[in-house]
Amino acid sequence: MRAFSYERVDSPAAAVAAVKGTPGARFIAGGTNLLDLMKLEVETPTHLVDVNGLGLDRIEANEDGGLRIGALVRNTDLASDARIRRDYGVLSRALLAGASGQLRNKATTAGNLLQRTRCPYFYDTDQPCNKRVPGSGCSALEGYSRQHAIMGTSDACIATHPSDMAVAMRVLDATVETVQPDGSGRRIPIADFHVLPGDTPQVETTLRQGELITAVTLPPPVGGAHVYRKVRDRASYAFALVSVAAIVRRDGSGRLALGGIAHKPWRVEAAEAELPRGAAATAARLLEGARTTSHNAFKVPLAERTIAAALIDAGVEA
């Protein structure tokens, strides 16, 4: 690990000022992803700004009936909150499907959204990776790509986003609140927060340099059965090959978002009109234009079957 400097701050304004005024500075909270990347020299920040003292660790009710989740709320606390379990069950289930108990005790709401891909070529500094070194090439395109994306890919990158929580946030239509370097606030719909790789796979979100996430807000609860279904290579502590976050009503209508298949949580609202017709029709619309490799083509039928299983879990015909 390369040498770096470190400071603690006590307000969001101080945090953004510290990062804005120091080239190579990064925010750190739980550090469950950033520290691993620093050890491998994938990330090499020169200065870490510790934001754990900002008091952003509360879950509060909004006037509209929704919830405001502080950026520093730990994943364990969020998953176990009675209001989340009662009204946003898909979120609680997604969190419990991710990582291990020890990691959930440290990982934060904001950090979970900002996780970087687990593509092995991204982690291997001896391999070309456009996400790590823009313009160097994508080793996964001609390499082993079983875990990789089939939707929204480009010739520059086929990496997937690893978060389970983000998939649930997408189906819930959450909003990300931030403080910008000039001190002003911003609200970013979760649909616009993560971006597809295009020609700039190193750009993973619409956050600006030095912008700090302060909270994630959830709208009022959505009725229906809340389901999170995750398919992975082993029963725990593994990233999704395909995951489905679903909110389904008794008539079969509802919402659907997928993980493990794209550079961002994958939701196509137009495909949700097909839910009453079943998993096959929904998957066909949701996965239109899928771009597969010989290693990951299985994700197309796997996604259909996982959607079907989620619908069955929700108590409707698949």
Query: pLDDT (tens digit, 9 = 90+) per residue, 70-87?
Result: 999 999 999 999 999 999
Q: What is the mean pLDDT of the chain?
A: 96
Distance between CA atoms of residues 171 and 76, nearest Å: 20
Which strands make up the sheet holding 242-248, listed edge to edge? 225-231, 242-248, 254-259
pTM: 0.97
Binned at pLDDT 50, 70 and 90, residue 236 comes out as confident
- In terms of C-beta density within 10 A (0-12 exposed, 13-18 middle, 19 or more buried), how is residue 235 classed? exposed
Predicted confidence at residue 318, as pLDDT, reads 75
Res. 21: pLDDT tops 90: no
DSSP 117: P
Question: Using 50, 70 and 90 to split pLDDT, how confident is the model at 104?
Answer: very high
**Cα 152 to the center of its chain, rounded Å:** 15
- State the average pLDDT over residues 241-257: 96
Closest CA to 239 of 71, 115, 86: 115
The arithmetic mean of pLDDT across residues 170-193, rounded, is 97
> Across residues 60-68, what is the average pLDDT?
97
Rounded average pLDDT over 266-281: 96
> How confident is the model over 213-236, as a mean pLDDT?
96
90, pLDDT greater than 90: yes
Rounded to an integer, the average pLDDT of 20-48 is 95
β-pairing verdict for 254-259 and 242-248: antiparallel
pLDDT reported for residue 1: 77
Q: What is the pLDDT of residue 237?
A: 85
pLDDT value of residue 102: 94
To the nearest 10°, the Cα dihedral for 304, 245, 139, 297?
A: 0
Instruction: Label residue 176 by pLDDT band (50, 70, 90).
Output: very high
Q: What pLDDT is recorded for position 172?
A: 98
> Nearest CA to 165 among 225, 223, 109?
109
Sign of the dihedral through C-alpha 104, 109, 112, 114: negative
Q: What is the model's pLDDT at position 31?
A: 96
What's the pLDDT score for residue 272?
A: 97
The pLDDT tens digits for 281-315 are 999 999 999 999 999 999 999 999 999 999 999 99
Q: What does the pLDDT average to over 85-113?
A: 96
**Looking up tokens 């870490």, which residue turns up?**
48
User: By C-alpha distance, which of 281, 233, 288 is closest to 262?
Assistant: 288
pLDDT of 161 higher than 90: yes
Give me the numbers of helices (H) and strands (E) for the chain, helices first please.
13, 11
